[in-house]
C-alpha cells in the first residue's frame, strides 16, 4: 500500500541532520568519507541513490547502522515504484499458495 507522503531521501537527511549542524562542507565530508566531492554532491542533492558502500561509509562516520541508511533508500525506492502506473496482470491464485511463498 502506497504512503501519501514521499519518504525523505537519505542524502537530504545526511545534509540537514549531519553536515549542516557540524559545519561540514561537501568537500570536507567527501574527503572524510573517502569519496569524490561529485559523488557526495549528487547523493545529497538527490541525483543519486544510496549504495551499500556509501551506507557503510556514512554509518562509520556517524556511528549509526548501514541498515538504517539503506532502509531509508529502500522506502523511497518503493514509494517511487508504487507511484508508477505499472500494467501488471495478477497471477492466478491457488488458495493459500501466495501466503506459503511469502512465509518462505
The grid coordinates listed for 89 are 496482470
The Cα–Cα gap between 50 and 18 comes to 16
What domains are defined for the chain? 8-74 (1.10.260.40)
Condensed to tens digits (0 to 9), the pLDDT of residues 51-96 reads 999 999 999 999 999 999 999 999 999 999 999 988 999 999 876 6
User: Closest Cα to residue 9, out of 40, 39, 37, 47?
Assistant: 47
Percentage of the chain lying above the pLDDT 90 cut: 81
22 falls in which pLDDT band (50, 70, 90)? very high
Residues in the chain: 104
Amino acid at each position: 500500500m502506497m504512503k501519501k507522503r514521499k519518504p525523505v531521501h537519505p542524502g537530504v537527511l545526511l545534509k540537514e541532520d549531519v553536515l549542516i549542524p557540524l559545519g561540514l562542507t561537501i568537500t570536507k565530508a567527501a574527503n572524510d568519507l573517502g569519496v569524490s566531492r561529485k559523488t557526495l554532491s549528487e547523493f545529497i542533492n538527490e541525483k543519486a541513490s544510496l549504495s551499500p558502500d556509501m551506507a557503510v561509509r556514512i554509518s562509520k562516520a556517524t556511528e549509526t547502522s548501514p541498515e538504517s541508511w539503506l532502509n531509508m533508500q529502500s522506502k523511497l525506492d518503493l514509494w517511487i515504484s508504487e507511484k508508477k502506473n505499472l500494467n501488471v496482470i495478477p497471477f492466478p491464485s491457488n488458495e493459500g499458495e501466495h501466503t506459503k511463498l511469502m512465509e518462505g
